[in-house]
Amino acid sequence: MASSLKNLSQYSEQGVARQNEDDLLSIGIVVSEWNQEVTASMAEAAIETLKKYGFQDEDIILKSVPGSFELPKAAKYFVEYANVDAIICLGCVIQGETRHFDFVCSGLTQGIMQVNLDSNIPVAYGVLTTNNLQQALDRAGGKHGNKGVEATVAALKMLQMKLDFEAENSIKLEELEKLFFEE
């Protein structure tokens, strides 16, 4: 197994957005209540990671949903009704005896991706899809790291990329204005 020797939460800090007084960034986290022994650990790790990069409690909006299938709708609510700069979706779906697992995983993955593509707000996918509870626990603070950390870092890196593009476009606009409107 490829991940058996690797802690999946090791990452480069390059390009991670940090809270600062100029931007006053806000992050939304939506976490599934289903498989709560797994998702609570992921949510705690996400919050700890945000605090590592300067975010305070008042910069973080934490909401819960009944199950992972509801994560895309909650992410869409964050886009439409909350003033957040990035969204982190955290959930856990464990394989059972029926094909229900496949439908839930497919639907929620496509849903989160759709919200991500339809909005200008980065939406991070922090959903574990495992064969059993032990695999989930190993990836929610166990030997393979914590998906809450990984999703948070992904959200912050995408947010920083967005901020960089916005800053570059702002500079280009200023240059054009000088070129055409200054005497």
Contact 83, 120 (CB under 8 A): no
pLDDT score of 23: 67
The CA–CA distances, whole Å, from 65 to 47, 49, 62, 99 equal 17, 21, 10, 22
Q: What is the pTM of this model?
A: 0.86
pLDDT score of 166: 86
Other beta carbons within 10 Å of 6? 12
In angstroms, rounded to a whole number, what is the distance separating the alpha carbons of residues 48 and 9? Answer: 13
Contact 138, 144 (CB under 8 A): yes
**Tokens representing residue 170 in the block:** 């702002």
Q: Per residue of the chain (183 residues), what is the pLDDT tens digit? A: 445 545 555 666 777 766 666 668 899 999 999 999 999 999 999 999 999 999 999 999 999 999 999 999 999 999 999 999 999 999 999 998 888 888 998 999 999 999 999 999 999 999 999 999 999 999 988 889 899 999 999 999 999 999 988 887 766 666 666 666 765
The set of catalytic residues is 100
Nearest CA among 85, 103, 100 for reference residue 157? 85
**Interstrand relation of 86-94 and 123-130 (parallel, antiparallel or unpaired):** parallel
**Interstrand relation of 140-142 and 145-146 (parallel, antiparallel or unpaired):** antiparallel
Spell out the CATH class of 22-181: alpha beta
